[in-house]
Structures are given as C-alpha cells and as structure tokens.
C-alpha cells in the first residue's frame, strides 16, 4: 500500500494580538542568519465526516493550493508539538470542494472514518510571509511563518460558507523534525516570539479554531464513570487498537503483532467481565474479535517464522547450510507475511470491521449495567481466571495425547489472567502469568516452526535438494520446546504462590 510522502512536523503556534512587533532572531546561539522568503498565497479546503470524527481525533485532512508543498495533506498526532504529515499530489482536474480524497490518505484513517462520507468542512486562505532560520553550517534550522488568515466554516455536505473569520498568527516549525536538540531550539525561538508580544495559540490548528468558533465540533462524549477497572482497561485498549490499525496500514515493523495482541487483550478483558458490559446480547463481538485475531495471525506467524529462521541460519556455520534453505524458509515466510498482510488489510477495509469498531466504542461509551435492587455490584476478580489456568495445567499434566494443544490452553488462560490481574491491581500475579505466557509462547512458536519445517523438508526432498539443514533446525526447535516444558512447573508454582499472597 502506498502511504505517500511522510515526514514528522514539529511546530509551535502563537496568537498575535494587536501591537505585537515583528520578532528578531539575531544573537541566538546556533543561529547564524535569517532570510525572508517571497510571500505565499495559500488556499486550503479541509475535509471531515458529518460528525467531525477526524477533528475529534486531532487529525486534519486538507487539499491546498499555492506554496511549495501544494497538494493533499493528512496530519496525524505524533506527540507534544509534533505531527506526522503525509502528502499526496493534487488532482488538478477537480474543483477543490468536489475533489475526491486520495485513496492512499483515506486508507490511513479508515478505522476512524469507516464508511462515513467525507465532505468539505472549512476553507482557509492564508497570506504567508516566511523567514528561514539557518545554522552556522548553512543548513536550515527552522521556519518562521507570519500568517494573515481568512477562513470560513462550510456547511456539512452542502459547501455553504459560514461567517468570515479573520486573525493573525505565527508558526515556528523545525526544518528537521528529528533534529538533535530541536525542542530546545524551538523553545528558545519561541521565547523571542513571546518577547515580541505573541501568546501561545489557543487552538492546535487553524481548522480547530475555525470549527470551534463556528460551533462545528461536537463535544467529545464523556467517559463513563466506572468503578470497574476492567471497563477502564477496555477503553484504553480500544484506543490502542485504532493506533495500531494505522501502523498496520503503514506496514510498520511489529504492528501486526501489536494489533493482534491488543485485539486479544480486549477479548480477554470482555470475557472476564461480561456483566460489566452487558454482553448477553452482544456475544458476537467476542467472536468477531477472535476472528480478527485469527486473520492477523496469518501474517504474524509468517513474520515470526521469517525472523526465527533468519536468526537460526545466521548462527550456523556455512558448511551446515545445504541447498536453497534460506530461499525456502526465510524468503518463503516473508512472501507469506505479505500475503497475510494483504488479507488483513482486506478485512480492515470491510463494513464488518467497521461495525466491530462501532460496537466496541458503544460498549466503552455506555454506562456499566446497574446491579439489581438490593444487590451489590459484582467486582471483577482474578479468581475465575486463575482457576482456568490451574484447571488447564492439571489437564495438561494428565494428557497422553495432544499435549502441545493442552499446553497452549494453559498459555491462553495465563494470558487472560495476566490482563485481568493488571487491570485489577495485582501486578505480581500479572507478572507471573506473563512469564507463563512467554514460556509457552516460545513453546507454541516451536510447534508451529517444527510443523512448517517438516512440510518444507518434504517439498525440498521432492525437488531433489539436500534436507540436512531442515533436520538440524527441527532438532533445535525440539530442544527449545523441551526447555520450555522444563521451565513450566517452576513458573506455575510461582504463579500459585503469587495468587495465594493476593488473597
């Protein structure tokens, strides 16, 4: 998936009251000179949903003409005073208010927009005077923008312009968002603007100012005041899910894994506290989360195998690597990852996925069900989650067949216990459960790897290739599985002790 031209923008904005003098940057350490640039005339149309979902998430999407970076700009939060900006080229054949949002930008925020329509919500015209600030080596350090702004809020979907708004503002932006010491430089430059009479901006962006003045941004829904810590934990994880959704769409490293983990956390927490969410009529949400994790798991398992095989082959002497093992194992797993990623993205662009996100946000926004008259609210505890682990461990000890699957059930139980214990203030139990989850996670990875190695060795044998290296890697994975099983009893004992101490 193309993601356009990305860069990190680090800037500060200032309101400019009447009587403010033009700032000077002379005499600052590291600043060698400043240079005025030709004035620019910028005209931008901003797009959002009828409910202003992008604005509520501090995201802006605009189509701008004029200036050196004319085009489509998508700006995403990236920390204090920082945003990630993604560019796409203009379609000059369309009028600004009728232009279609580029698919590569829309896809980045699809988990927020979903299948809601996007339409112009504001038009902002800016006369910009730029001063470039240079260091002693001649490289640009920052850009100072003196902006005279004229803006109009636009009616949702009909393009009707609201009352004209005018103001004067300044912006300071680092030339390189990753510049060492950049934030200190930004602070020192900003102090010069404050000395000149400017004040920190009351809004994070021009668009926010326009929509707020016009009363076009709905108030964000209040978080429910829940005494249930699991309810609060689910709310946090739903927010995380949207963050990792964007990362997966950008194919960021480890993002599929993190999105899958977040999906599983939400499901585990919901299962542990169904009464707190009224899931009696919404059990389909649990199944949808399970299936989403399964779809993501195809890419994740391939990613794990590629990294695992590459590390294992690098550790072997060259004479023990016989035949095109790297091509079959590492490159084959990488191809499977790309195939799994495409499958994941198809699922994440579907109405089915959008309805899941709608439902999760609905659960978080709703007040927890009240207890029946005369009954106390039932608090969430770690007891049932711990009993699930203990029962799975007992079954695994008695298992004569499918022992690998029995151990995997311990891991799934430990995972749920870990999340519930973390949410309910039992950190020691959570830490001990995490150890079991990690040990048996390594064991499960070895199970998947051995199955894959056995299959690939048969393919290699049929092609007339030497299969010695496959057997060597298989034995290494089997040794790892045995070590994991040897560690399990101590890990379970430590969990049992932590659970008793919690009671």
CB of 436 within 8 A of CB of 491? yes
| Tens digit of each residue's pLDDT, the chain (503 residues) | 344 478 888 999 999 998 899 999 988 888 999 999 999 999 999 999 999 999 999 999 999 999 999 999 999 988 777 889 999 999 876 666 678 899 999 999 999 999 999 999 999 999 999 999 999 889 999 999 999 999 999 975 455 678 899 999 999 999 886 666 788 899 999 999 999 999 999 988 999 999 988 777 766 555 555 567 888 899 999 999 999 999 999 999 999 999 999 999 999 888 877 656 656 556 899 999 999 999 999 999 999 999 999 999 999 999 999 999 999 999 999 999 999 999 999 999 999 999 999 999 998 887 665 655 555 555 667 898 999 999 999 999 998 888 999 999 999 999 999 999 998 899 999 999 999 999 999 999 999 999 999 999 999 999 999 999 999 999 999 999 999 999 999 999 999 999 999 87
**Cβ-contact 246, 388 below 8 angstroms:** no
Q: Tell me which of 164, 186, 213 is where a domain ends.
A: 213
Q: What is the dihedral of CA 79, 254, 256, 358, to 10 degrees?
A: -20
d(CA 263, CA 255) in angstroms, rounded, equals 12
Q: Which residues contact 366 (CB under 8 A, 6 or more apart)?
A: 224, 277, 278
Coil, strand or helix: which one is 87?
Answer: strand
CA distance 24 to 417: 59
Element (H, E) at 363: helix 351-365
Residue numbers of the domain that contains 81:
5-213
106 belongs to a structural domain? yes
The DSSP code sequence of 149-205 is EEEEEB-TTT--B---EEEEEEEEEESSTT-TTHHHHHHHHHHHHHHTT-EE-SSSS
Query: Could you tell me which of 335, 343, 248 has the C-alpha nearest to residue 295?
Result: 343
Give Cβ neighbours of residue 250 (< 8 Å, ≥ 6 apart).
Answer: 1, 3, 108
As given in the structure block, the two tokens for residue 442 are 């390594």
The residue from 213, 240, 268 where one domain ends is 213
Query: Any idea what DSSP says for residue 115?
Result: T
Same domain membership, residue 349 and residue 269: yes
- 463: number of Cβ within 10 Å: 11
pLDDT the model gives residue 204: 87
User: Per the domain annotation, does 181 fall within a domain?
Assistant: yes
Nearest-angstrom CA–CA distance, 26 and 20 = 18
The predicted structure's pLDDT at residue 255 = 96
Please check whether residues 359 and 395 belong to one and the same domain: no
**Structural contact between residues 447 and 404, judged by C-beta atoms closer than 8 angstroms:** yes
Whether 218 maps to a domain, the answer reads: no
Q: Nearest to residue 65, comparing CAs of 110, 123, 134? A: 123
Q: Are 139 and 280 found together in one domain?
A: no
DSSP label of 394: H
Q: Is 360 found in the same domain as 387?
A: no
Q: What is the pTM of this model?
A: 0.85
Q: Would residue 219 count as lying in a domain?
A: no
Residues 199 and 242 both lie in one domain: no
Does residue 425 lie within any of the structural domains? yes
Question: How far apart (Å, rounded) are the C-alpha atoms in residues 460 and 329?
Answer: 11
Q: What pLDDT shows up at residue 7?
A: 84
Question: What local confidence, expressed as pLDDT, does residue 467 receive?
Answer: 97
Q: What is the pLDDT of residue 157?
A: 47
Sign of the CA dihedral running 265, 267, 270, 272? negative
Contacts of 184 (CB under 8 A, 6+ apart): none
The closest alpha carbon to 433, from 391, 492, 392, belongs to 492
Domain boundary among 182, 213, 244: 213
Q: Per the domain annotation, does 420 fall within a domain?
A: yes
Looking at the structure of the chain, the number of domains it has is: 3
Does residue 25 share a domain with residue 171?
yes
CATH number of the domain enclosing 274: 1.20.120
Note whether 291 and 148 are same-domain residues.
no
- Tell whether 14 and 162 lie within a shared domain: yes
> What is residue 1's predicted lDDT score, i.e. its pLDDT?
37
My answer on whether 285 and 403 are in the same domain is no
Listed residue (131, 128, 106) closest to 119, CA to CA: 106
Residues 153 and 234 occupy one common structural domain: no
If asked whether residues 71 and 147 sit together in one domain, one would say yes
pLDDT of residue 489: 95
Is 103 part of a structural domain of the chain?
A: yes
Residue closest to 205 by CA, chosen among 23, 97, 61: 61
Q: Determine the Cα angle at 249 with ends 243 and 252, to 5°.
A: 80
Burial of residue 122 (number of CB atoms within 10 Å: 0-12, 13-18, 19+): buried
- Cβ–Cβ contacts within 10 Å for residue 131, how many? 18
Ramachandran category for residue 114: left, alpha or beta (phi over 0 → left; psi -120 to 50 → alpha) = left
Tell which residue, 5, 116, 102, 99, has the closest CA to residue 45. Answer: 99
The reply to whether 29 and 135 lie within a common domain is yes
Is residue 335 a part of any domain in this protein? yes
- Determine whether 241 is exposed, middle or buried from the number of CB atoms within 10 Å of its CB (0-12, 13-18, 19+): buried
CATH number for the domain harbouring residue 33: 2.40.320.10
Q: What is the pLDDT of residue 335?
A: 97
């Amino acid at each position: 998936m193309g993601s356009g031209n990305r860069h990190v923008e680090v800037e500060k904005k200032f309101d400019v009251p009447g009587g403010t003098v033009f700032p000077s940057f002379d005499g600052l350490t590291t600043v060698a000179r400043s240079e005025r640039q030709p004035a620019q005339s910028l005209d931008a149309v901003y797009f959002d949903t009828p409910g202003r979902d992008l604005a509520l998430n501090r995201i802006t999407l605009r189509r701008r003409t004029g200036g050196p970076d004319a085009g489509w700009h998508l700006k995403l939060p990236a920390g204090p005073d920082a945003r990630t900006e993604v560019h796409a080229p203009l379609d000059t054949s369309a009028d600004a208010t009728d232009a279609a949002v580029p698919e590569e930008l829309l896809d980045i925020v699809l988990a927020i927009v979903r299948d809601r329509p996007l339409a112009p919500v504001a038009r902002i015209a800016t006369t910009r005077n730029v001063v470039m600030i240079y260091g002693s080596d001649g490289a640009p350090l920052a850009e100072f923008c003196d902006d005279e702004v004229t803006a109009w809020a636009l009616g949702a979907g009909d393009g009707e312009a609201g009352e004209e708004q005018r103001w004067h503002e300044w912006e300071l932006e680092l030339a390189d968002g990753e510049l060492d010491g950049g934030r200190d430089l930004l602070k020192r430059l900003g102090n010069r603007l404050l000395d000149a009479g400017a004040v920190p901006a009351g809004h994070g962006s021009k668009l926010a100012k326009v929509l707020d003045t016009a009363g076009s941004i709905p108030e964000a829904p209040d978080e429910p005041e829940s005494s249930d810590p699991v309810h609060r934990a689910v709310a946090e994880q739903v927010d995380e899910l949207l963050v990792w959704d964007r990362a997966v769409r950008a194919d960021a490293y480890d993002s599929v894994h993190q999105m899958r983990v977040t999906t599983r956390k939400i499901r585990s927490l919901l299962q542990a506290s169904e009464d707190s969410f009224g899931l009696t009529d919404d059990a389909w949400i649990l199944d949808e989360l399970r299936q989403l994790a399964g779809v993501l798991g195809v890419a994740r398992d391939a990613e794990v195998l590629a990294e695992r095989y590459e590390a294992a082959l690098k550790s072997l002497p060259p004479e023990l690597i016989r035949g095109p093992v790297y091509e079959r194992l590492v490159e084959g797993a990488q191809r499977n990852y790309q195939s799994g990623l495409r499958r994941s993205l198809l699922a994440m662009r579907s109405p089915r996925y959008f309805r899941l996100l709608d439902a999760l946000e609905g659960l978080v926004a709703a007040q927890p069900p009240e207890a029946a008259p005369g009954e106390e609210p039932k608090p969430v505890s770690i007891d049932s989650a711990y009993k699930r682990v203990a029962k799975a461990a007992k079954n695994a000890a008695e298992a004569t067949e499918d022992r690998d699957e029995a151990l995997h059930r311990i891991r799934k139980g430990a995972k749920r216990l870990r999340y519930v214990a973390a949410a309910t203030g039992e950190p020691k139990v959570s830490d001990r459960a995490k150890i079991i989850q990690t040990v048996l996670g390594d064991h499960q990875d070895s199970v998947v790897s051995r199955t894959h190695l056995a299959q690939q060795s048969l393919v290699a044998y049929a092609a007339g290739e030497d299969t010695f290296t496959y057997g060597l890697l298989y034995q290494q994975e089997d040794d790892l599985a045995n070590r994991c099983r040897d560690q399990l009893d101590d890990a379970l004992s430590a969990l049992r002790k932590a659970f008793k101490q919690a009671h």
